[in-house]
Structures are given as structure tokens and as C-alpha cells.
């Protein structure tokens, strides 16, 4: 599996024949200056954890350009369908959908979800989600979305045994690094974790230091990638 981080919560996942973008906040991302065209090259799927603009990002343009499948909650899929996107694959908490080459299971996340329109009106876009990706010939990946720690993370581990975790650590709008490390230690048996949702804006923690420190001495490998540089796991 090849994973590329583009800052904030935006990731490209390459596994088997799948080319996946998760939360493609690219052209508006102050820590990524490369636009969305490169990250979206050859994309087969766009997955969204929730409806905030710093996660939806360039999804509409990417979907129109590539014809990729949108995988998200029902409200987000309806919103994009109304804007002309035909290939949508909706779900909600507890459900699993076949994405062709892999499956996505929708799990809990403690956050909110809406999109501010031109003029300032907010559109409700369903409940936030975490995403568990199962591949037939590769490792299971869990993108937590934006969330705090919660006890039912133990059930996610029991049901799915994810080996790779993508974990928000920036504080204020998600759990901070120390709490995120506690979540990984207490509830999961990850082989590898990748921190995200930090360093993008001044309100967020600027480094992954607290997260790395919180996992020191464990068997969990912490990978802090450079933006735009793929890592093989």
C-alpha cells in the first residue's frame, strides 16, 4: 500500500487497482501548494469523512474531472448528486459498502458536519464518520476523520483489527496529540499510525511532537510523512 499525505486530512491511498483520495482539501490548503490535479491523477474513488469545507475541499471538481466514485454519508452523496455527480455510493454508521476492489465501513466520529455556502448559509451534511477500508490483498486502514477519543473505539478494533491508523492530533477541533496517543495505546493494535489535522492553521498544534512522545516505548510505528511524499506500508 502506498500512502501520500497532502497536509491536513487529505490522503491518497493506492492499493491493488484502487486509487483513493480521502478528504481532498488541496487547492485551499495553506500547507499544500500543488493544486488538486496531481493528487487526483488516475483517481478511482473520493471518500469524505464529513461535510466541512476543509475536508470536502476540491471533491466536486475532482469528481467531475475524473468520474471517480464518491463514497460518503447519505446526505453528502445527495448534495453532490444535486450538483451533477452520478457515481455515488452512500452509507452511514455501521454500514459497509462495496467499492469495487475494497470495502468501506462507516464508523463513529465525535465531531460535526455542515458546509458553508456563498452568502454564509450552512447546509447540513449528515453526521461525521470514520472510515475503515478493507482490501482483499492488503492491510486494513482506519481513517478516523475528525474526532475525540471515545470508548467504542475498542469495538472498532474488535470488529475490524485495522493495522494502519490515520489519526487527527491537532487539538481544539479534534483530540490533541497526547489524547490521540492514548486512544492508539488503549484501544488499538495498530502496526503503523500516521498523524494528521495539524499544522494547517495557527489555531492547531503545529507539530506532531506530543503524539510521537505519547507513543514512545510502544510497538506502534509512528510515520510523520512529508507532504506530497508517498510512503510504502
Which CATH number fits the domain that encloses residue 19? 3.60.15.10
DSSP 135-146: -TTS--EEE--S
In a domain, 150, yes or no: yes
Range of the domain at 138: 2-225
Number of structural domains the chain divides into? 1
Instruction: Give which of 192, 222, 220 is closest to 208, Cα–Cα.
Output: 222
**What are the backbone dihedrals phi and psi of residue 210, each rounded to the nearest 5 degrees, phi first?**
-65, -35
Instruction: Give which of 54, 53, 56, 50 is closest to 74, Cα–Cα.
Output: 50
| pLDDT tens by residue, the chain, 233 residues | 999 999 999 999 999 999 999 999 999 999 999 999 999 999 999 999 999 999 999 999 999 999 999 999 999 999 999 999 999 999 999 999 999 999 999 999 999 999 998 788 899 999 999 999 999 999 999 999 999 999 999 999 999 999 999 999 999 999 999 999 999 999 999 999 999 999 999 999 999 999 999 999 999 999 999 999 999 99
In a domain, 212, yes or no: yes
Kindly state the cell numbers that stand for 59: 471533491
In a domain, 208, yes or no: yes
In a domain, 230, yes or no: no
In a domain, 155, yes or no: yes
Kindly state the cell numbers that stand for 20: 483513493
In a domain, 232, yes or no: no
Kindly state the cell numbers that stand for 175: 483530540
In a domain, 233, yes or no: no
In a domain, 192, yes or no: yes
Amino acid at each position: 500500500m502506498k500512502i501520500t499525505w497532502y497536509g491536513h486530512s487529505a490522503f491518497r491511498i493506492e492499493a491493488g487497482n484502487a486509487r483513493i483520495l480521502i478528504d481532498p482539501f488541496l487547492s485551499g490548503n495553506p500547507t499544500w501548494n500543488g493544486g488538486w490535479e496531481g493528487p487526483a491523477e488516475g483517481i478511482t474513488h473520493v471518500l469524505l469523512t464529513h461535510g466541512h469545507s476543509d475536508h470536502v475541499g476540491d471533491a466536486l471538481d475532482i469528481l467531475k474531472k475524473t468520474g471517480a466514485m464518491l463514497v460518503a454519508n447519505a446526505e453528502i452523496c445527495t448534495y453532490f448528486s444535486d450538483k451533477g455527480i452520478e457515481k455515488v455510493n452512500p452509507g452511514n454508521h455501521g454500514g459497509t459498502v462495496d467499492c469495487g476492489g475494497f470495502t468501506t465501513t462507516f464508523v463513529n466520529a465525535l465531531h460535526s458536519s455542515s458546509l458553508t455556502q456563498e452568502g454564509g448559509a450552512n447546509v447540513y451534511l449528515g453526521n461525521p464518520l470514520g472510515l475503515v477500508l478493507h482490501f482483499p490483498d492488503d492491510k486494513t486502514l482506519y481513517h478516523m476523520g475528525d474526532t475525540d477519543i471515545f470508548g467504542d473505539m475498542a469495538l472498532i478494533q474488535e470488529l475490524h483489527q485495522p493495522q494502519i491508523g490515520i489519526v487527527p492530533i491537532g487539538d481544539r477541533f479534534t483530540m490533541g496529540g497526547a489524547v490521540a496517543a492514548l486512544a492508539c495505546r488503549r484501544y488499538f493494535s495498530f502496526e503503523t499510525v500516521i498523524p494528521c489535522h495539524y499544522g494547517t492553521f495557527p489555531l492547531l498544534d503545529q507539530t506532531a511532537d506530543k503524539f510521537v512522545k505519547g507513543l514512545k516505548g510502544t510497538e506502534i510505528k509512528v510515520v510523520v510523512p512529508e507532504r506530497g511524499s508517498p510512503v510504502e506500508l
